[in-house]
Amino acid sequence: MFNPLKGLGNLQQLQQQAKQMQQQLQQETVVVEKNGVKITIRGDQQLLEVEIDGVLENRVAEVVNEAVKKTQELAARKLISMNQQG
């Protein structure tokens, strides 16, 4: 007999793994420096610091983080929309 709830356990396991990966990525940082610009970003794509010619420009980081968040929300809405159509 088909059990429609059988996949639920797998979904919960995937959600737990995704949460663990997110937490691990938040602990990692990447620093890239080129042409007088230095960027510090977390593994979860959260921009921590923007330095331009030795001057901290965190206004840029704030705007980039907001833009990234909006693109993530857009992607989530598209994914939900696609799942509802299928």
What residues contact 23, with CB distance under 8 A and at least 6 apart? Answer: none
What tens digit of pLDDT does each residue of 5-27 get? Answer: 555 567 778 788 888 888 888 89
pTM of the model: 0.66
Task: Quick: pLDDT tens for 18-74.
Answer: 888 888 888 999 999 999 999 999 998 899 999 999 999 999 999 999 999 999 999
